[in-house]
Amino acid sequence: MSEIMTCPISETVVLKSFIDPSFKTMRVSVNMLLPIDKATAAKYALLPALVSRATREYPDYTALGRRLAELYGASLGSGVQKIGEYQALGLSVGGIASRYALDGEDMFQKLTGLLFSVLFDPLKEEDGLFPLDGFTQEKRQQLEQKDAEFSDKMIYAHQRCHELLFEGRPAGLDRLGSREEIEALTREELKGAWEELLENARFEIFALGDCRPDVEAIRERFSKVGHAYKLGQVAYEPPELRRVTERQPVSQSKLAMAFRAKVPKEERLLFQLMSAVLGEPTSSKLFQNVREKQGLCYYCDSTFSWVNNALLIESGVETENLERTEEAILAQLTALQRGEVTKEELEYAKLYMRNSLRSVRDTLHRVEGWYLGRAFDQPDLSPERAADLLMEYTVEDVVEAANRLEPAVIYKLKGGGE
């Protein structure tokens, strides 16, 4: 079974290789992590999509698309996410393995050549500005993404609860910046921003699938970029419970509840298991009791984020059931804290998590997601090893973890507002 191989390129750049010939494709990605900041979040979030539109070598969509077609229909992608207090900006390229290419072509070399062109030589005008049409389009798409997230009230309630949980701290900022900050962006503001990002980010590079990474080529390109950050959790602070209710003209109200706990890295799996017992699979206490038996909500789920030291419980309910749903959820958490957990409930939660962990290797994207998240703790822990460790926890362990949760935010998006 393939394992992740870690190769430090410099103090600021790490190459992680997951070589598995059972895949017929390869994926190479460059993830740039840097502390999220209100002053730079919007402009940095726009950059990955902007630089992947065209390069000096492939100066428009047509030329870039033609090159991707020549590489047997390769794909070029970009993305922005937030992990704790860090903004994670990604560029990736994917394509077929070399053994399927004509004339023995080295597909890793060709795909990374294209990726390096995007990274280190994006298209700019003579004055150093990004082309106006590309900037305008990507800015509009970023604003449309913000509007879509506002319209999806499940996403909106999640984001609002998170903002309230970390209000005034970097962890509370949106990965894309605010709508107002995006609207205010100018091409002049982005001049030099990409070079600034390359200089200030920590790099997590992945070579995945059926490929042979050229370590020296990567070292040559990345040896003089980046900034050495020590990744870690959002600092834990004992919370004071905040209750916030907003009204909007929606047919289905939302309830989002946040709890905090101080969780060392060796207990990350335990708290994820506790969350599963409480509210993730259909066997969980929230699903069985709040949704099914009492019929109080359309969905009721819990998720635990180790990097945030936080548990979120989210639900969609009829407006008249908001108070009863809150009481029912807290009653199930209290029952868990009292030790009202059967061995069957624990076993079902373990099986749910183990199946999820064992499916990580099914796609290269999920492999990357697992090990990118693990850059913040236990970087060499494999999904299979995590699945084995998971099975060792007892009912008593889960109950003890639940008793360390402290209520932090109760947020309600109430239907019927203007």
How far is it, in rounded angstroms, from Cα 407 to Cα 42?
31
How far is it, in rounded angstroms, from Cα 229 to Cα 85?
12
Give the tens place of pLDDT for each residue, 90-139: 999 999 999 999 988 999 999 999 999 999 999 999 999 999 999 999 99
Q: What are phi and psi of 101, to 5 degrees?
A: -85, 155
pTM (whole model) above 0.85? yes
Measured at the CA of 393, the angle between CA 387 and CA 397, to 5 degrees, comes to 140
User: Would you call 252 exposed, middle or buried from its count of C-beta atoms within 10 A (0-12, 13-18, 19+)?
Assistant: middle
Instruction: Report whether 407 contacts 240 (CB < 8 A).
Output: no
pLDDT band, very low/low/confident/very high, at 1 (cuts 50, 70, 90): low
Give the tens place of pLDDT for each residue, 161-193: 999 999 999 999 999 999 999 999 999 999 999
Give the tens place of pLDDT for each residue, 287-344: 999 999 999 999 999 999 999 999 999 999 999 999 999 999 999 999 999 999 999 9
Angle, to 10 degrees, between the axis of helix 322-337 and the axis of helix 268-279? 130
Angle, to 10 degrees, between the axis of helix 132-151 and the axis of helix 41-51? 120
Instruction: Tell me the two tokens of residue 374.
Output: 């693990």
What region does 230 belong to: left with phi over 0, alpha with psi -120 to 50, or beta? beta
The proportion of the chain whose per-residue pLDDT surpasses 70, expressed as a percent, equals: 99
Per the listing, tokens 């108070």 go with 323
Instruction: Tell me the two tokens of residue 13.
Output: 């750049």
